[in-house]
Amino acid sequence: MIGSLVRSFLRHQASSNFYPLSRHFHTSDKRGNLPAILFTLIKPLSKIASYLLGRGARRAWKKLPETKQRNFLQFAKANRGKFLLTGALSAGGLFYLYESHIQVCPITGRKKCVILTPDQARRIGEANFQDIINDVQESIVPEIDPVYHQIASVANRILSANRDLRQIYDKACTLTVVDSPVVNAFVLPSGNIFVFTGLLEACDSMDEVSVVLAHEIAHVVLGHVEEKLTRTSFLQMIMLVPMSLLWVLIPYDGVAFITTWFFDTVTNIMLELPFSRFQETEADEVGLIMAAKACFDVREAPAFWAKLALKDGNTDEDPDADKALELISTHPANETRQENLEEKLESAIQIRRECGCKSLDPTRDPMKKVEEKRQSIENRKKRYDYNL
């Protein structure tokens, strides 16, 4: 059930005293000890709070006799300085909280705000892990299965080649392979990687599997989930004020509900989804380097996304649907991922050389394979149109 091979690699490395497991890179003692569950529930809690506060205030206001409403307005006018000061202090406090938790990512050099402690992230991940395991229990590929062995050996090769990144030892990485046609793989903040066999069927070689696994491991070492939960928490705290105000100012519940939903959707499209796509791109790029260090054929990375783009274009009615839907998607379009990885390919091949990997076969071009596939699909389509 749990990837003991991946785990045993970590134990082995830890016992070599190269980078002991206890050395966490999140060492800031400034972070609070808020219950971990709060970070996952903050979104629904904030929605309920804005509804209760805003709607409650509106209804209470309506019930007040006119004289009391007048008195309240006079009181608010007389004390507006104090109200403004309270607002400014709250905003300042939030800003301080954000600033005091900024750290520099040792891998990318990018500044990021992370409030969750590694222990909180681990607890969130472990709770999710148990839920997911319960859901997929019947479909888990056993560790003795050759498919599991192959994937675990790719994961171990990536982990082993990247042991210079001490972030690898922050999490006890595990691997769970689920027998399902879903073309997906994901990772939890505790380092538990899930791979669905549907995704493996989309891969023609272990080099392609390395693209997927290196991407997931990159999410782990970059602490993406912790960063995303922190960002969502801040956004929800900021959004609480305008959302509550909407419930106060809009006199009809139905209209207020639709307006807050619209406001929430726009915020999601403008702020949350672009950040999610940014993290995916970052994991693609760092994953490419990790796979290069493990001597995989990194030319397969852009070719893999080109192949998936081709598959989507072939099955969708609109061949550009994937690209068109990118704006409302958590992940970049397959084509965008391909183009981005193509740009980084030369430097990844250089890293591969510096790591002393065997030279890549110049006569073998993974993109050629995709081009041939594209050509055969187009020819088939032409024949089909002709027959019509």
> Please, which residue, 177 or 239, has the CB nearer to Zn ion?
177
Give the residue among 162, 166, 171, 172 at the shortest CA–CA distance from 210: 162
Q: Which is nearer to Zn ion, 217 or 283 (CB)?
A: 283
Would you tell me the crossing angle of helices 4-15 and 146-161 to the nearest 10 degrees? 30
Is residue 304 within 8 A of residue 203, CB to CB? The reply is yes
CB contact at 8 A, 151 and 6: no
Per-residue binding string, Zn ion, 165-204, x by CB under 5 A, is ----------------------------------------
How far apart, in whole angstroms, are the C-alpha atoms of residue 66 and residue 116? 48
Residues 264-293, one symbol each (x = binds Zn ion by CB under 5 A, - = not), give ----------------x--x----------
The 117-136 contact track toward Zn ion, x by CB under 5 A, reads: --------------------
- Give DSSP secondary structure letters for 93-137: HHHHHHHTTEEE-TTT--EEE--S-HHHHHHHHHHHHHHHHHHHG
d(C-alpha 37, C-alpha 21), whole Å: 25
Q: What is the DSSP letter of 140?
A: B
3-state secondary structure of 172: coil
Give the span between the Cα atoms of 257 and 259, in whole angstroms: 6
CB-based contact 194:176 (threshold 8 Å)? yes
Q: To the nearest whole angstrom, how small is the minimum distance from the Cβ of residue 279 to Zn ion? A: 7
- CA-closest candidate to residue 304, choices 215, 383, 222: 215
Helix then strand then coil, % of the chain, to nearest 5: 70, 5, 25
End-to-end CA distance of the chain: 51
Of 220 and 239, CB closest to Zn ion: 220
What part of residues 204-223 is at the interface with Zn ion (CB under 5 A)? none
| Nearest-approach distance from CB 224 to Zn ion, in angstroms | 8
Considering beta carbons, is residue 264 or 284 the nearer one to Zn ion? Answer: 284
Q: How many chain residues are in contact with Zn ion, going by CB under 5 A?
A: 2
Q: Which is nearer to Zn ion, 264 or 300 (CB)?
A: 300
**Binding track, positions 133-152, relative to Zn ion; x by CB under 5 A:** --------------------
> Given the complex with Zn ion, which of 211 and 246 has the nearer CB atom?
211
Rounded least distance, CB 185 to Zn ion, Å: 8
CB of residue 280 to Zn ion, shortest distance in Å = 5
Q: How far apart are CB 250 and Zn ion at their closest, in Å?
A: 38
Please, which residue, 121 or 283, has the CB nearer to Zn ion?
Answer: 283
Q: Answer for the pair 25, 165: CB distance below 8 angstroms, yes or no.
A: no
The least CB distance from residue 218 to Zn ion, in Å, is 8
Q: Provide, rounded to whole angstroms, the least separation between the CB of residue 220 and Zn ion.
A: 11
Closer residue to Zn ion (CB): 118 or 332:
332
Shortest distance (Å) from residue 330 CB to Zn ion? 9
Interface with Zn ion (CB under 5 A): 280, 283
